[in-house]
Amino acid sequence: MIPAPDLTISGHASIDSAALFAPLTLTLGAGQWTCLLGGSGVGKTTVLRLIAGLETGAVFTGEITASDGGPVAQRVAYMAQDDLLLPWATVAQNVSLGARLRGEKPDLTRRDRLIERMRLQDHMAKKPSELSGGQRQRVALARTLMEDRPIVLLDEPFSALDARTRADMQELAAEALQGRTVLLVTHDPGEAARLGQSIVVMTPAGLTPCQPPHALAPRKVDDLETLETQGALLRLLREDAA
């Protein structure tokens, strides 16, 4: 894997001259998880999609830069909240979808290794309808890793899962994405407290940094400092909503 850079987005966005989010500067540390937390409608997903080079419908004034001076969007892998699996394709075919869409020959050895890493080796020939929600999310994570990009953007990828499966997926993702520059957009203070090496709360007024727990991520769900951070984040969100 190419070494992951720092990444900075600085600027503001609007739709029909109405501000979508206030002027901000957000830096993602190289090889670290940054969690962007906030209520609905504050612009979190727009920030993520701008970094990915995806359509937002907004006018963005500013810049998105990597510390090594290289291009950004071409080095991004994106995992959405919905797994977006092709319903007619097998697990193996969904994991290697990116290469096939680009007209490239997929690395089948790497594909099979990732599928095994996600504990899906017994499900390679199954279609998405034959999988549980957690298994589908593991397929989506394997597909994201198959792209082997140094910058990974996660848009609430685990929010639809039950609590136990969500905790399992958080731990699996943290292990699998070590060394990459990761931006996780989430509504969940507990998720941010478990995974964030940098935690930022986004409100209509701008960004508020929050001190993450000192323990290494992913942190235990019952770690005292993690629970205290979760509480502090929830208070910030409630104050913003009040």
HEC profile for 54-85? CCCCCEEEEEEEECCCCCCHHHEEEECCCCCC
Q: How far, rounded to the nearest angstrom, does the alpha carbon of residue 105 sit from its chain's CA centroid?
A: 26
Q: How many CB atoms lie within 10 A of CB 135?
A: 19
- Encoding tokens for residue 52? 């990915």
Candidates 71, 57, 56, 58; CA nearest to 5 is 71
Place of tokens 């994106």: 78
CB 209 within 8 A of CB 37: no
Query: Which pLDDT band holds residue 82 (cuts at 50, 70, 90)?
Result: confident
Would you state the pLDDT for residue 153? 96
The mean pLDDT value of the chain amounts to 92
Model confidence at 2: pLDDT above 90: no
- Encoding tokens for residue 235? 């208070």
Residue 42 buriedness (CB in 10 A; 0-12 / 13-18 / 19+):
buried
Q: What pLDDT, in 10s, does the model give residues 101-156?
A: 888 999 999 999 999 988 899 999 999 999 998 899 899 999 998 998 999 999 99
Q: Helix (H, G, I), strand (E, B), or coil: what is residue 140?
A: helix
Question: Which is more confident, 1 or 150?
Answer: 150
Residue 36 buriedness (CB in 10 A; 0-12 / 13-18 / 19+):
buried
Per DSSP, 127 falls in state -
- Segment holding 143, helix H or strand E: helix 133-146
pTM: 0.92
Model confidence at 242: pLDDT above 70: no
Domain parsing of the chain, residue ranges:
7-84+151-241
Q: DSSP states of 147-176 as a string?
A: T--SEEEEESTTTTS-HHHHHHHHHHHHHH
For residue 115, which amino acid is it? I
The CATH label, of 3.40.120.10, 3.40.1160.10, 3.40.50.300, 3.20.20.140, for the domain at 7-84+151-241 is 3.40.50.300
CA distance readout (Å), 138 to 1, 92, 133, 144, 184: 21, 12, 9, 10, 16
Bridge partner residues of 62 (DSSP) = 11
Would you state the pLDDT for residue 36? 97
